Chains A and B, each alone.
Chain A
Amino acid sequence: MAETAAWEHEPGGHPEFGDVILGVKGVTVGFGDKLVLENLDLEVYRREILGFVGGSGTGKSVLMRAILGLTPRRAGTVEVFGCNLDTASGEERLEVERRWGVLFQQGALFSSLNVKQNIKMPMREHMRMSEQLMDELALLKLEMVGLPRDAADKMPSELSGGMIKRASLARALALDPDLVFLDEPTSGLDPIGAAAFDRLIESLRDTLGLTVYMVTHDLDSLHSICDRIAVLGERRVLINGSLDEIMQFDHPWVQSYFKGERALRRVD
């Protein structure tokens, strides 16, 4: 089995290494008369990589969108960097938005801008700096996520799926955020590319001090880079903790997910 996280965690307790960067309390989200999430609690600590798993259609993306404020909540509060997003003033909210980065599942690059312009967009809108520095930083971010420099002038429609993911991550990292949300970052990548992506996220955590909230189905990512894993099911977080704790957890879905055929094959 891959090495476990560098830090030990106490289940449910505050790890000694960090503050709560993201706190979700009692969140309920529903569409029509169907509740997707009900009274959900979750905490993400500074400088950790949280892997978020759950069956298809259990509302992983819905929770991420609810945290980001894209899907309306029926109840509950979301605190990011200690700032309650419901009561925050416009300025506070803007400050929070500058400090988080989001990688959407489909990349969501602006299709009418080329890759470099996409990465420069948050800098141009939120920061004041010279065009030259903006250009250099955009190229730096581009290379940091492992794209060749000649990808800078390509349009999103000319990129492959993996390149779109990387370019989109570069845009998410443009403002050096403290917290990044990644929605299935390695889905659709080949195993080599996925492993490189995992290493990239880990090294970014180490160099930039990122906190990573990662929705993923990739057992390899969960094993290799996630410090903590949260499992979504039955409209709430079933369990969160280190991989070993989750492997011990007695729930049919969790057992079949982490000890299913594919999971066991990779452990061997």
Chain B
Amino acid sequence: MPADLGVAARIAPTLDAHGEGNILRLCPGGCWTIHDAEQLESLIAGLRCGEPVYAVVDLSRIDSLDTAGAWLLHRLQGDLEYRGARVDRVGVSDTYAALFSEIEAHHPTPWKPYRSRFSVVSLLEKTGRQMTEVANDAVAVCHIVGSLAAVLSGILFNPRRLRAVSVAVQFDRSCIGAVPIVLLMSFLIGGIIAQQGGFYLRQFGADLFAVDLAGVLVLREIGVLLTAIMVAGRSGSAFTAELGSMKMREEIDALHVIGLKVTEVLILPRILALMLALPVLAFLADLAALFGAGLVTWLYLDIVPQTFLQRLQEAVTMETVNVGLIKAPFMALIIGLVACVEGLKVGGSSESLGRHTTLSVVKAIFMVIVVDGLFAIFFASVGI
């Protein structure tokens, strides 16, 4: 067996042209293959053949030829014929003749290089399309909310239709799996808030108020907000990717055909599990953040744990805790809805899966913050 089957022997391509009066003789030689395509193109571009009446292409000196080489020769021949020359091909071996007869069945299209132009109209059009997209999103969310309500009311009459196992599995994934990272994050945030607060308040001799600051801020806002953001990044993206890849592989269509509701089978268990998970996670996050705050005030501000707890009891009421936790299910609902809507919008390509997963997380986090703001306005107006 030869050590190397014809890789090394690649002879550089040549193209000789002899003009005699109105007769042109073209002798391509060497390897006319795709490996030397750039060189072949420059050989042909550099060809000065004048205005021949008759041209002969002599292929006897070609060592190897593939589709790319044959195509370039075919194109050259076409050019010559277009300029009024009669072209003959000589010295073609049988294998190459078959190749040429295959190639000659195809013709080059006029080549149009792709160009993108900046225009105000297209900019406006793009903006308009994005606006309708937003409107479509809102409709899609309403659609899912509606069908969720329909499914839920069905479950009220027939509780067996609730997929408890499915809900439990989703709860395990989105809640229990998230506990360590949420605890760690909240612990650090609690510590940081206490440290920063203490650092500034100490200048006024009010370092004890760092406890108030950390307690109220964590329980009312930060605990639930950061947990929601973490859950949006963790579970929201997972929902979108799961539903999206199911959409891509026609699994969603299979569910429809079998006569099952996607909302009932896929969306309700996820959203329900998330609505149960987020309050639990937010509560655990509150505890961890307060623990972190307590530790930092003890080590950094020399406030002993007893004083910390005493101060905390004065600063924080059950109402403060509730204000934070009541927001959690609503945030979970929004994260779940956005994730599912984006998941069902995934098209056929992996690129679209990636785009919608990104969009899902970005939109969910944005919406969570908007809802937090709305709650802040609401609580302020009712005076809590």
Contacts and interface: CB of A to CB of B under 8 A. Distances in A.
Given A82-B2, A82-B3, A144 B106 contact: yes
A99 B66 CA distance: 12
Contacts of B66: 176, 208
A144 to B, nearest CB: 7
B106 A176 contact: no
Given A19-B1, A175-B34, A203-B102, A137 B108 contact: no
A176 B348 contact: no
B196 to A, nearest CB: 45
B347 A157 contact: yes
A81 B34 contact: no
A111 B348 contact: yes
A207 B96 CA distance: 7
A176 B68 contact: yes
B98 A207 contact: yes
How many chain A residues sit at the interface, stated as a range, is: 35 or more
Contacts of A99: 7
How many chain B residues sit at the interface, stated as a range, is: 35 or more
A133 B41 contact: yes
Contacts of B71: 133, 136-137, 140
Nearest to B112: A135
Given A132-B111, A136-B108, A140-B67, A21 B34 contact: no
B35 interface: yes
A135 B110 CA distance: 11
Contacts of A175: 34
A20 B98 CA distance: 24
Contacts of A141: 67
A83 interface: yes
B119 interface: no
Contacts of B352: 112
B75 A136 contact: yes
Contacts of B103: 140
A131 B350 CA distance: 26
Contact of A127 (B34, B75, B111, B349): B34
Contact of B41 (A129, A143, A157): A129
Nearest to A209: B95
A135 to B, nearest CB: 6
Interface string B14-51: 00000000000000000001110110010000000000
Interface string B91-121: 0000100110011011011010100000000
Given A83-B4, A95-B7, A136-B75, A128 B37 contact: yes
B102 A127 contact: no
A68 interface: no
B45 to A, nearest CB: 9
Contacts of B4: 81-83
B352 to A, nearest CB: 8
Given A129-B37, A176-B34, 20 more contacts: A19-B1, A46-B5, A82-B2, A83-B4, A95-B7, A127-B34, A127-B37, A128-B38, A133-B72, A136-B75, A137-B67, A137-B68, A137-B71, A141-B67, A144-B67, A144-B102, A155-B348, A158-B348, A206-B95, A208-B67
